[in-house]
């Protein structure tokens, strides 16, 4: 999924990045704030984290497209639209 598809997926299911971070704190072994930041970077900025991507796909079914390079949210949404 690209950034726009992820945003739509979360919105339709009533999920937030914070809620996802809270649910995977025990599985990832990091603080909620750092997981939230890593999820935001993974979903919208293209900073790849293989372990976190696999965990999110397993728990929520969100398969993230690995970008060729990091990008801003504006770039991600523009390309997705």
Query: Does pLDDT of 76 surpass 80?
Result: no
> Whole-structure pTM over 0.95, yes or no?
no
Span 29-75, pLDDT tens digits: 889 999 999 999 998 887 888 899 999 999 999 998 877 766 667 77
Span 10-21, pLDDT tens digits: 999 999 999 999
Number of domains in the chain: 1
Of 15, 3, 77, 69, give the one whose Cα is nearest residue 40: 3
The domain in which residue 12 lies consists of: 3-80
């Amino acid at each position: 999924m690209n950034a726009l598809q992820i945003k739509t997926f979360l919105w339709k299911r009533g999920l937030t990045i914070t809620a996802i971070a809270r649910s995977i704190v025990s599985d990832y072994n990091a603080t909620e704030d750092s997981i939230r930041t890593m999820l935001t970077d993974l979903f919208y900025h293209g900073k790849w984290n293989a372990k976190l991507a696999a965990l999110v796909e397993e728990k929520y079914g969100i398969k993230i497209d690995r970008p060729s390079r990091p990008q801003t949210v504006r770039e991600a949404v523009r390309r997705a639209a």
